[in-house]
Structure 1
């Protein structure tokens, strides 16, 4: 069986969320060439002064993906994500040959606003095709890695059953054994 991948429209969102490795304490956006590498992969020009906005976007998206596993998204974070998206307008373009319609970043956006508009377009398309709810953040507090849930029921809770899932189940087992 082949390796399952994230749908192409959500790769940007997943990649952005995963620019920080909480377990290792490494933030690719803060690394010397990390912002440039991410910007190249995202096909958006970003400058060092965009980092605070991109970081806020990343963490708000992580909270939204955690909500996909049943964890409540704080109202403040939902409002912040709404504000970020409001500052990154989209336009609807219709293909003349096929009639297909897609959202695109509005003309003239640059930096973090352009990235946010690309993310907003990806989220809107994923919501429309039913894939947005399956992009999740690992339930393990020390991980919080973004992953795409390919399980039939869509109930996966950890990025990896072999790592975070096994650790969680082992902690629960040990706690149960200690309780008389």
Structure 2
């Protein structure tokens, strides 16, 4: 869980939301007023934001080829509550998917996922396979087979554990 450049487009929102929980330390940015303000949620919306965060993490683990670490509400079930509209630019005819209601976090996440699907970038957003990390990261590797949020931290730890187990 090291600093990297954010995921492209709306995926930066998804990545930032998943990374509000530091698995290793247990610190949750949604516990703070500043953390909630970053996502436009109130104290009353924290539990819904956490459910969304963990459903996203489960999907990001699947993108990396790993099962979720616990049972969560399926992301599709959550996103079904966030209708999207097709917005067409009158000048050039370009079209985008936009949330029917810009305010709620769920709507913004749904639009980000739809945008990423269209751009072909959705499956590149993954969760680190290190069980003490699970940080969201955008896989920029040429083959799209990245496994860790950071080769220098989580990758090095995994390789060291494997090395020690051998001998």
Q: TM-score, normalised by structure 2?
A: 0.90
Alignment match, 2:16: 15
3-state SS, counterpart of residue 103 of structure 1:
strand
Aligned 8 A contact 1:88 1:116 in 2: yes
Task: Spell out structure 1 runs of 4+ moving beyond 4 A.
Answer: 73-76
1:169 pairs with 2:159: yes
Alignment match, 2:66: 71
Aligned residues: 164
Alignment match, 1:25: 26
Aligned 8 A contact 1:140 1:158 in 2: yes
Alignment match, 1:91: 85
* Structure 1, unpaired ranges of 5+: 40-44
Aligned 8 A contact 1:4 1:150 in 2: no
Alignment match, 1:6: 7
Among 108, 118, 132, the alignment partner of 1:118 is 108
Aligned 8 A contact 1:68 1:133 in 2: yes
* Structure 2, unpaired ranges of 5+: none
CA distance in 1, matches of 2:6, 2:47: 29
Among 50, 56, 67, the alignment partner of 1:55 is 50
Q: Post-superposition shift, 1:9?
A: 2.2
Q: TM-score, normalised by structure 1?
A: 0.84
Q: Post-superposition shift, 1:155?
A: 0.5
Q: How does 1:86-165 map to 2 (within 5 A)?
A: 86-107=80-101, 110=103, 114-165=104-155
Question: Cα 1:17–1:154, aligned 2, differ >3 Å: closer, same or farther?
Answer: same
Question: Cα 1:5–1:82, aligned 2, differ >3 Å: closer, same or farther?
Answer: closer
Q: Post-superposition shift, 1:125?
A: 1.3
Question: Cα 1:101–1:74, aligned 2, differ >3 Å: closer, same or farther?
Answer: farther
CA distance in 2, matches of 1:75, 1:96: 46
Structure showing greater radius of gyration is 1
Question: Cα 1:74–1:128, aligned 2, differ >3 Å: closer, same or farther?
Answer: farther
